Amino acid sequence: MENRGRTMVQFAFYKFDAAWRRLPQEQRERDKAELASAVEEAADAMLVRSYSLVGIRGDVDLLLWNASPEIDLFQKHGSAILNTSMGRWATQPYCYLAMTKNSQYKDPTEGDAPEGRRLVIRPTGREFLFVYPFVKTREWYLLTLEERQRIMSGHIHSGHKFPSIKLNTTYSFGIDDQEFVVAFETDIPADFLDLVASLRETESSKYTLRDTPIFTCVQKSIKDALDLIG
């Protein structure tokens, strides 16, 4: 698959049947070790970051944030994970596919930034990841590029008030139901809450059609994430 230097990105959310937790402990320990091994094998071939949502959302337990130039790796390793003993107890309530792309909007603070830096996913390792799919109204795309740039400049200005937050924007036009998937990394959840409240007051917000569901994810090693499940 030719991606013109871009990276395919997947946000794979898993939910595990509560009945699995009622299995004998020895069985559960073997199951977790097998699934962790499958995730670690995937991480040898592509970027994989694991996050826990146990106790945060009721409909998902685990996020694997995956990135690779090759979409085939998502299928290969996703199948291997689902076919482990523990994976057979899992469903995927949400799974978003996206791709990196250089933004068409200019950030005045990034005049010396290297070209193409947005084509590669580079997680920072911060504790929290806030993820959601995003869709704009059709009216937004009927505005001229100059008008959209003017509006986005205000949006970008608001974002720069919160330097503790790193934004990862990925694009889904034509390859999934949403138009974007955005993922914000931070160690300070309060800053993210204040950022979103601030963005509600920008002109760009009136062109938002949908920006839910929103997932609050806590970075964990895959072994620790699985221990939290059971």
Residue-by-residue DSSP string for 102-113: --SS--GGGTTP
| pLDDT for residue 108 is more than 90 | no
Residue 107, pLDDT score: 80
Span 73-95, average pLDDT: 98
Work out the average pLDDT over 162-178: 97
Whether the pTM exceeds 0.85: the reply is: yes
CATH topology agreement for domains 8-99 and 108-216 = yes
Q: Is the pLDDT of residue 80 over 90?
A: yes
Instruction: Cite the beta strand spans of 103-163 per DSSP E.
Output: 128-136
What pLDDT, on the 0 to 100 scale, is given for residue 175? Answer: 97
> Which is more confident, 102 or 118?
102
Q: Decide which of 3.30.70.1030, 1.20.210.10, 2.40.10.480, 3.40.50.300 is the CATH code for 8-99.
A: 3.30.70.1030
Segment 189-193 mean pLDDT: 98
In percent, the amount of the chain with pLDDT more than 90 equals 90
Minimal CA–CA distance to 209: which of 184, 183, 180, 171? Answer: 180
Residues 6 or more apart in contact with residue 73 via CB below 8 angstroms: 42, 45, 46, 66
Whether the per-residue pLDDT at 158 is higher than 70: the answer is yes
State the pLDDT at residue 176: 98
Asked whether the predicted pLDDT for residue 2 surpasses 60, the reply is: no
Alpha-carbon distance 121 to 127, whole Å?
17
Domain ranges for the chain, please list them.
Answer: 8-99, 108-216
What is the average pLDDT across 117-144?
Answer: 94
Q: What pLDDT does residue 65 have?
A: 98
Q: How many CA atoms lie within 13 A of 174 on its CB side?
A: 0
Judge residue 186's burial from the number of C-beta atoms within 10 Å of its C-beta, 0-12 exposed, 13-18 middle, 19 or more buried. Answer: buried
* Residue 98 confidence (pLDDT): 98
What number of residues does the chain have?
Answer: 230
Side chain identity at residue 203, one-letter code:
E
Is 114 a residue whose pLDDT tops 50? no
Q: Which CATH superfamily is domain 108-216 in?
A: Apc35880; domain 1 (3.30.70.1030)
